[in-house]
Every structure is written in C-alpha cells, then in structure tokens.
Amino acid sequence: MPSKDLLLHVCCAPCSAGIIETLIDEGRGLTVYFYNPNIHPFEEYERRKAEIKRFALTKGLPFVDADHDPDKWLKRVKGLENEKERGKRCQACFDMRLERAALHAHEHGFKALGTTNGISRWKDPRQVRQAGINAVAPYPGLLFLDREWRKDKGIEHMLVASKRENFYRQKYCGCVFSIPREQEKEKTL
C-alpha cells in the first residue's frame, strides 16, 4: 500500500538514492514517482528508470511509473531548443514534470510533493524550487517539500550511495538538447 505522506518525483538513481535514504531515516513515508518524458534516447530512459525502480523496491518503497510521452515534452519546449542549460527550456521541463507529479499527488491523496531534481550538478535549484511551488499552488492542502538537497552533506551522501550501489552515472541531464556534442559526434562515426 503506497504511503500517502510524500510523493517524491525522481530523475535518476544517482541523484535520488541519497535523498531517499535521508527521507527514510527521517521517518517519512514516501512513494517514488518516475515521470521524465525529457530523457532521450528511449534506451537511456529505460536504463535510468530500471535503476531507480530497482533501488526503490530494495528499500520497500512503492514505485509509480508514469508515461514516457516524449512528444508532449517536445511540444512543451518547442521554440526553446537552443536555450542554454539552466535556461528557459530547463524551467519549462521542470514545470511540466512537477505539474504532472502534483496532479498525481492531488488525485491520490498525498500530503506533500518533493523532487530530487535540485541536487544534480546540471540543474539550478532555484528553478526546481519555483517549479515545485508553482506545481502545488492549484491544490489546497498539498505542500511542496522545499529542501536544498545539496546542503548538509547531501552531495556527499549522493556520491556514497551511488558508488555503493554501483549506479550507472550518466554524462548529461537527459534531454536531447543536453547531450554533449562530443557524444553525438561519436554516435555518427
């Protein structure tokens, strides 16, 4: 039976494991929610999903697998393809994913919504925070768990958990526009 305390939107296992362990240690009941239509290519999406799902299940946590739906994501970021990382495209991406997570939280009776997105070195935690606050606003009683996960040894915990679990460590945020150009060149050779 899923916990109705906290719905935790997760991006990938390396970024999420330390946060999940911290929340468990704090006694939070949580359900892990994977909604990341931005992740490209599909094989990368499946790999990231499989790792975080495996980790959640080893911790005895419910896991919600939302739709991939990359076409919907591409429509949301249309016109922002050439934006730099941490720019308007990233904000639109956070908004979309956390809006969907907040709707799920509301529809399923969760008290709070959190996300692991802000710990990533490729993310601007202020953008993630704003997306979370905006996402819960339409739902009275639904709170956003506003935590700066990079502080209080969060990065250290993330790295220790990632190494201990031998997680695959990706080299880009996830979307097609964030793939390092060198990686794209290698694929075409």
**Residue pLDDT, tens place only, 137-151:** 999 999 999 988 878
- Residue 14: pLDDT over 80: yes
Q: What is the chain's mean pLDDT, rounded?
A: 89
Q: Is the pLDDT of residue 161 over 60?
A: yes
Kindly tell me if the per-residue pLDDT of 1 is higher than 70: no
Q: Coil, strand or helix: which one is 174?
A: coil
Res. 3 pLDDT band, cuts 50 70 90: low
User: What is the number of residues in the chain?
Assistant: 189
Residue whose token pair is 């911790």: 59
Long-range CB pairs of 134-141 (<8 Å, 24+ gap) are 134/95, 134/98, 134/99, 135/95, 135/98, 135/99, 135/101, 135/102, 136/102, 136/105, 138/102, 138/106, 139/102, 139/105, 139/106, 141/111
> With pLDDT > 90 as the criterion, what percentage of the chain qualifies?
65
Is residue 104 over pLDDT 90? Answer: yes
- 3-class secondary structure, 177: helix
Domains of the chain (ranges, CATH numbers): 6-188 (3.40.50.620)
What pLDDT is stored for residue 32 in this prediction? 98
**What would the pLDDT profile of 75-96 be if each residue is shown by its tens digit?**
999 999 998 888 899 999 999 9
* pTM greater than 0.95 (yes/no): no
